[in-house]
Structure formats: C-alpha cells, structure tokens
Amino acid sequence: MDGIKCVFSVSVYGSVSLVWGSHVLPQPPSARSWSKTSPQSDTETGSDHYGLLFSIRSDTDQVDNPINQRKFNTKKADWPLFQKTLNEAIQNNITLQHISEINDPRKQDCKNLILEEDQELQSKLEEIGEAITQVIQLAADKAIPKVKLGPKPKPWWNQELTKLRRELTHCQRVYTQQLQQLSIQEAYLFKKDFLIARNTYARAIKDAKKRHWNSFLEQETPQSIYKAMAYTKDQKVEKIPPIQGEILEKTFKGKCKAFRKALFPPPPTAELPSFLNYQESIWDWPQLSISELEQACSSKVKSSTPGPDAITQDIITAAFKFNPEILFIAYSILFNYGYHPRCWKAATGAILKKPSKLDYSLPKAYRVITLLNSLGKVLERIIAKRLASLAETTNLLHSSQIGGRNKKSAIDAALLLVDQIQHKKQQGQITSTVFVDVKGAFDHVIHNRFLDRLKKLGLPISLICWAKSFLSNRTLRLAFDNKIEEFSKITAGIPQGSPVSPIFFLIYIRDLFPALQSFQLSYIDDLSLTTSSTSLKKNTRALQKEIATLFAKGEQLDIIFDTSKTELIHFTAKKERIERALILPNNDRIEHKDTVKWLGIYLDNRLSFKSHVSIRVSQARQAFYRLGRLANIELGLSTHAIRQLYLACVTSVSDYGAQIYWQNQPYATKKLQSLHNLACRKTLGVFRTAPTVPTSLEASLLPPAIRLNSTIRNYASRANLLANTHPIAKAITRIQSTNLQRSKKPNQHRQLQTITNAIPKNNKRDTEQTIPYRFRPWDTLNYTVTVSQKSKEEEANAHQAYIKTRLDNYTTIYSDASQTQEGKGIGVGIAVYNSTQQEIYSETVNIGQYQLVYNGELEGITRAFEYAAKNATTDQEFEVYADNQAAIYRLKNLSDNPGQHWQLRCLKAANTIRRKQANIHLLWAPGHTDIVGNERADYLAKEATKEDPRSTTKSIAYLGTTIKRIQQTEQRQEYEKYKARATALNKATYSAKYPLKISKTIQMPQNTKRVTSSAFYSLKLGHGYFNSYLKRFKKRDSNRCTCQNIQTPEHLLLYCHLYKDHRKTLLQTIKHRPVTLPLLLHTSIGIEATLAFITSTRIGTRKWYLGQPPEDLQRDTV
C-alpha cells in the first residue's frame, strides 16, 4: 500500500510492537491480506532489531492470473464433428491438397533459407504452417466451445433459490411501494415480510454453497481432489505496481515499455556467420519419422496452457489421431527444410512476480512466462528430444553440465558437490565453493552468437536453419493486470516456455567450462566452482583465479554473470572462514556465508543440513495446513483423498533433497515425525491423543525414517541403471576403488557411500543390465502391437471367433508365465498352433527365483519371437498372444527402462523375420477365459516352475520387491517395539487387540463419507466420542452408557441394547462366528458391515455425542 511502512520488533519475551508510518489507514486489512516480504537489514529503524517489510493487499488489488488465457474447452468437445470438419477443411485447403508437390530438401535450400535468398520457398513453407493452423482452428471453432473468462458460473444455484429470489424481489417491491404511501410505522409489517424473505434467501444461499462444496469434496476422483487443493491457493495475483523505467511508469503502456527495455534489452551487434562453404560434421540426423511425430502429439505430453491461437495439446492429439497422414507430411517438410512458420512464433508473455523481492517497482523483480502456440511446440519438442539424445551420446555438451539433460537431475548435481566436499574431507582438506548465476539466462541469448556456436560444432545444416528460423521474427505481447498489449518484435533471447530452450541454452554456454581447472558443476544457468586444499587462503586464491578466468571467457562469449547473486561458502567451522572473502573482477567483494541455497538445497558450512531440514519441513507444514482446510472430523475430503494429497503435495516438499543428507539424524527424524503425526490424524479424522504407530498403520503412511530409507534405496537402484559415463556412476566407481587406509580421515562419512551400501548384497554385475541411450528418438518398432480396449469377456469371444477364420499362412503362438509356492523359480511356457489350431510345438523354461512373473511374461513373448524367427517362411504371418498387458506395453515402447534386454531380443528376432519376408504381430489375449492356447501355455508355465533354473540373474523388478521387503521388515520391527512398550502399560491396547497388517492403501471402502470413516477409526483406536475415553480426560463425569454399562467401543458395537435392531442387520451381514471387535474392525467384510452400522446409528460421531444427555446420572466405576 503506497505510503505505509511497518516496523516490527520482537523482544526476548515475545512482545510485539507494530507502528504505522502513516497516520491515514484505510479499512483494516484481513489477516490473509498480510504478507511478509523480507528482512530490511539496511533500513535504519533506531532499534537493534531488523525491520520486516510487509505488504497489505485488498480485493481491489487482485486480478486474474495472466497465464490463464482463453482456450478451447476440450471437456465439452464434439469429437465426431471435429473429425468431420477437420477432414472437410483439409479437402478444401489448396495448400494442403498440393503439399506433396514440394520436393525433398537439398543442403543448398537450407543455406538459402538461412540467408533469406529463396523467398518463394519461404512463402510455401509459411503457407504450410498457416494452413495447418487454419484447418485445426476451423474444426475447433465449430466443434469445441471456448472457456469463458471472468466470473465463474454458480454451480450451487438451484430452483429453490430462484423461487426465493422472486419472493425477495416481490417483498422488496411491495415494501418500497407501501413506504411511499404510508409512514414508516404503518409499513412495518411489509418491512418485516421483506426482512424475513431477505434472511431466508441469504440462509438458503449459504446452505446451498455448503452442500455443494461438501458434495464436491466427497468426490474421490484425482481431478476433483487436486482441484480442491488448488482452491486453497489464491486464484488471483496482485496488480503490478508502478514500474521504474526512465520515469516511474503508472500506465499499462508505460509498464510494458519498462518491462521490454529491462527484460528484453537489444542484443550486442553480432554478424550472421557465413555458411558459404559450410561442411557438416558426422551427426546422426535422419529425416523425421512418424513415431517421433506421434510421440510429440501424444496425450502423454503435459501441456494444457495454449498460446495466442488457443489450440491445446488435446486438440493436436485428436487432429493427429483423425488425420495423421497430412500432419506427418506437413511437419516432415518443415522439419527437413528447417523452417518454423511465423504464425507459430507469436507468443503471449505473462508477467509474474518473483517471490520475496524487496522492491517490486523494479522490472527485474518479475519474470516472463512465454505462452507459445502448441502447434509450434510439437516441432520444438521433436528438435529438443533429438538434441537431448545427441547430448548423451556425443560431445555436444560439456560433462559438467547436469541440468536440462536426460537422467540428470538437480539432486544428482547437489549430491556430486556434497560428495566432492566429503571426499576431500577424508583426505584432510578444506573445500570452498563459489556459486555464480548467468545473468538473464534465456532472455539474453544473442541469436547470431548462438548460430555461430552451432556452426562451430558442425551440426546439420537443416538444424541450424531451423534454429535461425525459430529465433528470428518472433513477436510477443505482454499480459498482466487483465490487459494484453499488441504484438511487437523481440530481437534477442530464447522463449522460456519452449521445450527446446534449455538444450539451446546449454549449447550456448558450453564453451565456458573447458578452460576451468576447478571442480565445476552447472545446472542450466546456476554454476558452482569448487576447490580444496589444506588452507582457506589457498582456496580463496584459487577461486579468485577461476572466477577471473570464467568472467574473461564469458566476456569473450558475450555471456554476462549476475554478480549480485554470486555467493561464497567455506565448508569448515574455522573462524578464519569469516575473513576469507572473494574479490570479483569488477572489484565486488563476496563475503563468506554460513548457509547458501543451491538448486533448492540449503548447504551450511558444516554440512549438517539442519537449516535445509527446518526450512523444508516448514514449507511442508504450510502445504499441510492448506490441505487441512479441506477436511475436519465430520466433513470434507475422504481418507483416501487426504492421503493422496499428503503424499503428493506435502511429503514431496519435506523430503526434497533427502538423498543428499539422510542418515537417520535425530533432529531430522523429530521434525519429520511431528509433521507425519499431524498428517496421520488428519487423514483418519481422529483425536490428537490417538497413538502414533497405530494411526500410521491405519493411514497406510510410512513413518518418515522408513520412508526416507526407502528413498535412499530407490536412488541406489536407479544408480544401477545409469550409464558408466554418468557423473554419479563415475563417482560411485571412484568410491569403490578408494583405499580408505590411505585417507587421513577414513571414518569421514560420505553420503554416496551410504547410498551404495543401502541395498544388501546388491552387486551390479549380478543384476539385469540395460544399455543407456540405446534407442534414438527416430527409431521405430519392426513389429506391430495391439491391445484391445474391450472387456476380458468380449475380447475372449472375439478371439474365439477370429481364430476360426484365419488363412493357412497364419501361425499362432501363446505365451505365459507362472509362479508357485513349491516351484524353484518363475516358469515360462509357449505353445504354437497352426492355422487349423493343432499344436505343433511347445517349450518350457525356468528363469530362476530372482525374477518376477512380469519378467517371465517378457521371456515367454521373446521366446515366441525367436521361435518365429527360426521357422519363418515367405509371406508367413505370426501372431503372438500374451495375457499380461504390462509386458505387452513394455515391448511396445522403445526405452532404456528395465525390460530392455527382452525388447532387444524381440527386435533382433523381428529383423530376421522381416528378412525372410514374413511378419509378426504381438497381441493381447485375456487369461483364464477358456482360450485353448492360453490355457495350454499356462499349464506349461506351471510345469516349468518345477524345472531347475537356467539363470541366477536378478531382474530390476525383483530388486524393487527386495526394497519393499526391507521396508516391511523395518515396519514390523518398529511395530514390535511399540507393541512391547504399549502392552506393558495397557493390556487392552491396539497392538494387543489387532494383529499387524501392512497395507499399501487404506483399508476403507472408496466413497465412504468423512463422518463415518472418522467415527470408525475413533472406535478402532479407542479415542473418540464415547464416555470411557472422555471420562479419562475429564470431559464427562461418568464413563457409563445410558444402558448403565461402561460405554466402550466394544460395548457400543456388540452389546448395547439401544442398538439391538441395527445389530441384527450387522450380524446377518457377517456369517463368521463369533463376532469380535477384530472381526468387525480389522477384516474387509467386518469393516463394510461396521460402516453400515455406524451410518444407521451414528455412534462415535460428534452429533451422536452431542445428542446424549449432558450428564449421565449413573454411578461411576473405576
């Protein structure tokens, strides 16, 4: 609020003094309108305490988020009409009808496009982009409504409210008329009618909103629960205050001018590199394949925000599905020529505040989110995926560049830095690190300099041509404060919302690193330089030299560093660290900090990570409290929904970076356990006195220590799959070859060593191997895969009818896998049938006890392929049937994931089949539906379990089950400790009543109402609205029921005569005898019957409790 400052001081006794700097203050702001900006240590307050800057917001300061642009509402799409209109539009479009007349590109064509010397070709390519956009927009306009921006409709409105509003209007009109004719006293009765109608209408609106909100929360669909979580955040953003340009700009136009000047400065002059005699190096860069386009248009692509054309990814997915041929021809021409149409380069720039900035009048306190047209992003996605593949298999990028690459994460980068520090500490050395940020990053990329980098790498001319086309002639319109400016040209930078921007930026800065001598890591634009020695003086001197080299190289490459974001930390407890500052080439002095934040990890000088844990848990608590607003003990989200949101939105915050620090530290366990206890009770809807271990079990939430142990093991399992060239794999290899006896501090902890040893008896050589980056983006399958969408019964009937009608050249192979308790391993069986359904071959194999049935299914399909390869003849058709859809889909998708070994064998066999001029197809056949071949393969697989195993290799899937078994063992051990403590104090405790049951999910039926599930868990845990519990905490004077017996959960469920009629229904539902508390509350059949009993009687609920007499007059008992 302009003109108001707050000074906030806290004494050691916790008193608060708040002084307004202005004597004029409007209406007091609500609590949610306050926000703390940051400490103002440089502001003189006349106090020995720091001042804190606050901002106060009112509803008039709120505007729509500029990212929410108008788009097509595909939820209401008429897809048959869309398909019809699209095909008609394509038929009527002259450009698309003559698109096949464009010849394949020559290298000279690409050079001409770079130099803009072939305007006719450029016009043709431009028309293709415009034509594709026009036909899709035409079909979308006709078949899909657009989302209406502005106030949302009232979904809670009903007919009763319409009637009440009419009555209110009528009463108000009559009262107004009578008031003109009568005195106020005489019109009193008419006023009374009006007030009654008004209050009735207001209460009805309140009730309607409440009912609608509660019914919405009771839904358990992922879409509804995540939407509910989103509602806990502000849906709007603050208006942009006046922006400092040459003057303080207050108008929308002036603010746009200031933003453009600061965020998109004109680039330094750089000439376009010459391509006159350009010769490409040897790069694997074939023409576009249909599989690449299919993946780029897939619904799996998470992109819902459209660009100025309002076309979303869903619409592109549908367009490709309905007419893949025309889209493939169009995108192939644009890709192979290297051209990005102008209509796809228009973008909307949403201006958003960066968090925790001191002065929001400065343009640098904002970021621009570029909303690009989705049709252009398809082509960008293809280019990005190809470059990402080349980055891992060639020298396209420097090895220290971690971010923005496949299978390289921020956790990897931070872990490498921490391991380097711990490794040097083992050797008795001190480590110092300086963190540097590239100024402006994407927005400051100079186009011609970037093209020169591509040229020096000798990249394909079509790629360079596309890069120039993509970067040039871009237009942008800024959007904020519910306004959008007109399009205008952008001459520098790479759009931040593009899939190709990260890899382009990495190429742009790749030449910074070879000249450096220190241990270096970079994550996109965040760089770290690390050096170690026996003294801080040596470290500072070495870092100063490295920084000088880096800045000089940056100046040579036109890359600028943001010195205000440069940070220095010495990883030592020595007091000398405070004195050892760093002097930058521009003479800025960088002082040591005891804690720095890098890639979301808070690193302190002792590597204790206490600050990191505290901050992450604090942030997670904020997310949890927002989640807590969506449910109470009676209303709101179900137990399943709260658990899902807790795991997705809270633990993901609290556990971030655990791979780097977790080693069962007590301080971390304490903070995480406190949050975990809150979450368990909120999930179940029970009292805060409920025991922690039972609530954790009932909520199916792992205790933090066990959860993070599993996180470490999962990271170790992931490390097994990394390429030998991956930095983490190299670091692990160094650890395994290190001789600790030669170290000065052999007992020094190394987190990467802990990760390596996390899984017992985990030998990489004995585990299933994969070949990282074996498949390129343009690789395709040489066999077909089909999975019917019919039900099992429908598909089984269709299959039985189909096999009777096949031609003589068809051979059918059924495969299956099985596991039995008495077996020696996973059995695999295949059965081969000719066209007359006579069995002509069968085979069995046991693949060992360190595999899963899923692996056996893959082995069975693979052996079927290899049989076909061996016996194929010209024009023969092989159909391989399997009943495991997961295995089929794994063989459908080319990837480096587990199962690659079988996929490579299938591809090799299919190649042999193709060479013999035959074909092979993989299909789904439902299991256990009396399909003869399937049943035969199942029998063979069961027989194979009795054979001796042919392999001792552990599959990666089996390794995953090993991690789960260790996790369950830890859970049992913790439970046994709790049981020993609890039963020693109370023989009737939870652990004495119920046997241990470890489950992946909550044992509560879906769509159970909150009030019912809450009462159920209160009764089961023994902490709830019944007198035997409330008496213990002096909430009731008697522990007796109105039937004069002690009111315990067991009494209410099994014996209280007040509910004998309801209990008859309960007992009729359960056939087992005797009916006990564990049967009712700890078995699936008992749980369902008990929930029905609670629903009909309301026992254990708050309303049931409040409906009892305030004081029971019966005599108390001990």
Question: Is residue 294 located within the same domain as residue 381?
Answer: yes
Distance of alpha carbon 545 from alpha carbon 540, whole angstroms: 9
| Beta strands at 877-882 and 810-818: parallel, antiparallel or unpaired | parallel
The residues with which 882 forms a beta bridge, in sequence order, are 924
Q: Please list the residues that pair with 8 across neighbouring strands.
A: 18
Q: Is 109 exposed, middle or buried (0-12, 13-18, 19+ CB in 10 A)?
A: buried
Q: Which residues contact 277 (CB under 8 A, 6 or more apart)?
A: none
Quick one: 296 and 384 in the same domain? yes
Q: Specify the DSSP class assigned to residue 896.
A: S
The whole-number pLDDT of residue 264 equals 87
- Distance between CA atoms of 573 and 1084, rounded to whole angstroms? 57
Adjacent-strand bridge partners of 63: 237
In whole angstroms, what is the distance from residue 717 CA to residue 759 CA?
Answer: 8
Whether residues 426 and 572 fall in one domain: yes
| Residue 761 CB coordination number (10 Å) | 7
How many domains does one find in the chain? Answer: 7
Q: Which of 919, 953, 987 is the last residue of a domain?
A: 953
Question: What is the C-alpha to C-alpha distance for residues 438 and 524, in angstroms, rounded to an integer?
Answer: 9
pLDDT given for residue 882 in this prediction:
96
1101 and 1085 assigned to the same domain: yes
Q: Report how far residue 226's alpha carbon sits from residue 219's, in angstroms, rounded to the nearest whole number.
A: 11
CA distance 881 to 934: 8
CB 418 within 8 A of CB 751: yes
Element (H, E) at 1066: helix 1060-1069
232: which residues sit within 8 A by CB, 6+ positions away? 626, 627, 629, 630
Total length of the chain: 1118
Three-state SS at 531: strand
The reply to whether 619 and 556 lie within a common domain is: no
Note whether residue 498 is domain-resident. Answer: no
AA identity, residue 1006: Q
Is residue 724 helix, strand or coil?
Answer: coil
Say if residues 840 and 850 touch (Cβ distance below 8 Å). Answer: no
Q: How many CB atoms lie within 10 A of CB 304?
A: 11
Identify whether 363 is preceded by a cis peptide bond (ω within 30 of 0): no
* Whole-number Å distance between alpha carbons of 785 and 1047: 62
DSSP 451-518: HHHHHHTT--HHHHHHHHHHHTTEEEEEEETTEE---EEE-S---TT-TTHHHHHHHHHGGGSTT--S
CA angle in degrees (0–180, nearest 5) for 536-538-542: 115
Task: Identify whether residues 534 and 390 lie together within a single domain.
Answer: no
With a CB cutoff of 8 Å and minimum separation 6, the contacts of 821 are none
Q: What count of other Cβ atoms lies within 10 Å of the Cβ of residue 200?
A: 14
- Residues 50, 119, single domain; the answer is no
Could you write out the DSSP letters of every residue in 97-137? HTGGGSPPP-HHHHHHHHHT--HHHHHHHHHHHHHHHHHHH
751 is a domain residue: no
Q: What is the pLDDT of residue 443?
A: 86
Tell me if 26 is assigned to some domain: yes
Distance (Å, whole) CA 716 – CA 257: 51
Q: d(Cα 631, Cα 645) in Å, to the nearest integer?
A: 12
42 with 110, same domain: the answer is no
- Specify the DSSP class assigned to residue 584: -
CATH number of the domain that 567 lies in? 3.30.70
* CB-based contact 596:566 (threshold 8 Å): no
Helix (H) or strand (E) holding 479: strand 474-480
Q: 953, 987, 1013 — which closes off a domain?
A: 953
Give the whole-angstrom CA distance, residue 677 versus residue 670. Answer: 11
Question: What is the model's pLDDT at position 486?
Answer: 93
What is the spatial distance between Cα 666 and Cα 660, in angstroms, rounded to a whole number?
A: 16
Structure-token pair, residue 612: 């990191």
Cα–Cα distance between 708 and 703 in angstroms, integer? Answer: 9
Pick the closest to residue 830 from 786, 871, 794, 773 (CA basis): 871
Give the β-pairing of 784-786 and 919-924.
parallel
Q: Are residues 1072 and 1099 in the same domain?
A: yes
Q: Which residue among 604, 626, 646 closes a domain?
A: 604
**Kind plus residue range of the DSSP H or E element containing 843:** strand 839-846
Using a 10 angstrom Cβ sphere, with 0-12 exposed, 13-18 middle and 19 or more buried, the burial of residue 117 is exposed
Residues 6+ apart with CB under 8 A from 1087: 1003, 1004, 1005, 1016, 1080, 1081
Q: pLDDT per residue over 394-409, tens digit each?
A: 999 999 999 899 999 9
Q: Is 220 a domain residue?
A: yes
On whether residue 908 sits in a domain, the answer given is: yes
The residue behind tokens 């910074």 is 512
- H or E segment and range at residue 475: strand 474-480
* Cα(1014)–Cα(1023) distance, integer angstroms: 11
Q: Which of 65, 129, 84 is nearest to 102 (CA)?
A: 129
3-state secondary structure of 663: coil
> Is 52 within 8 Å of 8 (Cβ atoms)?
yes
Q: Tell me the one-letter amino acid at 554.
A: G
Residue 960 inside a domain? The answer is no
Note whether 578 and 689 are same-domain residues. Answer: no
pLDDT value of residue 181 = 85
How far is Cα 346 from Cα 389, in angstroms, rounded to an integer?
Answer: 28
In a domain, residue 497? The reply is no
Indicate if the alpha-carbon torsion angle 55, 59, 62, 64 is positive or negative. positive
CATH number of the domain at 946, please: 3.30.420.10
Strand partners, 596: 603
Partners of 62 in beta bridges: 238
> What tens digit of pLDDT does each residue of 980-1037 get?
999 888 888 899 999 999 999 999 999 999 999 999 999 999 999 999 999 988 888 8
Show the tokens assigned to 496.
């931040």
- Asked whether residue 359 falls in the same domain as residue 472, the answer is yes
What gap in Å lies between CA 373 and CA 487, rounded to an integer?
14
Please indicate, yes or no, whether residues 802 and 845 belong to a single structural domain of this protein: yes
DSSP 361: T
Task: Give strand pairing partners of 128.
Answer: none
The segments of the chain whose pLDDT lies below 70 read 1-60, 149-152, 739-743, 1108-1118
Q: Which two tokens stand for residue 163?
A: 């009637």
| Dihedral sign of CA atoms 523, 527, 533, 536 in order | negative
Query: What Rg value do the Cα atoms of the chain yield, rounded?
Result: 34
- Domain presence at residue 772: no
Nearest Cα residue to 509 out of 498, 517, 501, 499? 501
* Domain membership of residue 524 as a residue range: 411-442+504-604
